[in-house]
Amino acid sequence: MSFWKKLKGELVDIIEWPEDTPDTLVWKFPRYNNEIKHGAQLIVRPGQAAVFVDQGRIADVFREGRYELDTKNLPILSTLLGWKYGFNSPFKADVYFVSTKRFTDLKWGTQNPVMIRDAEFGPVRLRAFGTYAMQATDPGALVTEVAGSGAQFSADGIVDQLRNIIVSRFTDVLGESRIPILDLAASYDELGEFLTERIGKKINEYGLTLTTLLVENISLPPNVEEALDKRSSMGIIGDLKQYTQYQTAEAIGDAAQNPGGGMGDAMGLGAGFAMASQMASAMGPGATPGAPPPIPGATPIFVAINGQQVGPLTMDELARRVGMGEVKPDTLVWKQGMAQWAKAIEVPEVASLVARTPPPIPGGSPPPIPGSPSS
């Protein structure tokens, strides 16, 4: 056994990282008693860096290449161990390999909705998620700040911390930007670039660089999205009266193709048409929401003014037009139950109004209209 130990002690060590796990960020070289022979070969592959740590202090960092470990290429460690006096004995040091490749398609997202104030919709809650990419650019700082003394450290070990940083900065940026909710989709690129700049300094403290950050989606709560969809649908429908007429025509066509529907279907269809007509009339142009129905017993009157039918008019509206001189004794009027139009003086309900206005003085000027500047 002593012979093999002596033989192994005289062999030149080869220190390298095969990197068979693609998600590993930091890997500690397994060395019995951390003892490394003087003159050992260090192999650092592309996309790697080797960090030598002596008693918790960063001694040397090697980039990709092949090195023979001696006092010439270990200046800091040589100083720490006293090799400047020519010591050729084995030395103890921890060797950490750091993956310097770019880690892509890392996920971030808000675990809880973010409350912001929108100028159009008021206080709303938003959720957001996306992806980002990072890369180890300062292996020494990464080993010191993140990896610690563990034998292996994967990217998953830092992802949660980075996600918290991103979400925290995202909330600040979204609140400060005051971008309207309906315009957020057009600002994903700008938000991503701004977030990358704002978060970059904080992530650099861990020896990492945030190379890319993408905002993939910012969404509203389901109930708010449903209300927004209804609002969009009303905007697409446009004229509700024309839409109701179209729906009525479609329903009539469907009923014609189903002659066995029975009287019940016909009655239901008629009731639906009546309700739709009332809704269209109530929501049409010029309609007054909440307008009361006509007073019971009042008879609407139609009048002919300048060859145009006007009405129906209530008695108060008719009296106003009489006072303005628009309705005169010989003005044609009509009400429900009359076979044809008749002069206002011949209709009892209207005669009492027009009879109050005296006829023009022969050869004189017409009486002034009440409310005019000359009255």
Q: Residue 16 — φ and ψ, nearest 5°?
A: -155, 165
pLDDT 10s digits, 258-270: 665 554 555 555 5
Which pLDDT value is given to residue 334?
87
C-alpha distance from residue 218 to each of 150, 172, 180, 278 (Å):
38, 15, 12, 40
Which pLDDT value is given to residue 239?
61
Which pLDDT value is given to residue 101?
92
Largest CA distance in the chain: 148
Looking at every residue in the chain, the average pLDDT score rounds to: 74
Which pLDDT value is given to residue 43?
92
pTM greater than 0.85 = no
- Residue that wins the pLDDT comparison between 322 and 35: 322
Q: Give the CA count within 13 Å in the CB-facing half-sphere of 232.
A: 7
- Residue that wins the pLDDT comparison between 46 and 237: 46
Q: Residue 139 — φ and ψ, nearest 5°?
A: -55, -35
Residue 51 and residue 93 in contact, taking contact as beta carbons nearer than 8 Å: no
Which pLDDT value is given to residue 73?
66
Q: Residue 45 — φ and ψ, nearest 5°?
A: -75, 165
Q: Residue 148 — φ and ψ, nearest 5°?
A: 70, -140
Q: From the centroid of its chain, how far is CA 60?
A: 47
Read off the pLDDT band of 335 (50, 70, 90).
confident
- Of all residues in the chain, the percent with pLDDT exceeding 70 is 65
User: Angle of helix 156-177 relative to helix 188-204, nearest 10 degrees?
Assistant: 130
Which pLDDT value is given to residue 345?
83
- Residue that wins the pLDDT comparison between 168 and 236: 168
Task: Give the integer Cα–Cα distance in Å for 81 and 79.
Answer: 6
Q: In 10 A of CB 244, how many CB atoms? A: 21
Least confident segment among 22-31, 150-159, 231-240: 231-240
- Residue that wins the pLDDT comparison between 198 and 221: 198
Closest CA to 176 of 196, 193, 161, 191: 191
Read off the pLDDT band of 359 (50, 70, 90).
low
* pLDDT of 273 higher than 50: yes
Which pLDDT value is given to residue 372?
46
C-alpha distance from residue 323 to each of 24, 29, 42, 302 (Å):
94, 106, 110, 17
Least confident segment among 65-69, 149-153, 185-189, 235-239: 235-239
Domains located in the chain, CATH noted: 12-99 (no CATH), 102-220 (3.30.479.30), 301-354 (no CATH)
Which pLDDT value is given to residue 322?
82
* pLDDT of 365 higher than 50: yes
* pLDDT of 371 higher than 90: no
Which pLDDT value is given to residue 366?
53
* pLDDT of 213 higher than 60: yes
Please, what sign has the CA dihedral across residues 335, 338, 339, 344?
negative
Least confident segment among 49-58, 125-134, 288-297, 300-309: 288-297
Which pLDDT value is given to residue 186?
81
Partners of 176 in the β-ladder: none
Task: Give the integer Cα–Cα distance in Å for 21 and 199.
Answer: 28
* pLDDT of 210 higher than 70: yes
* Mean pLDDT to the nearest integer, 99-126: 84
Read off the pLDDT band of 231 (50, 70, 90).
low
Q: What share of the chain is helix, strand, coil (3-state, %, to 5)?
A: 40, 25, 35
- Residue that wins the pLDDT comparison between 150 and 144: 144
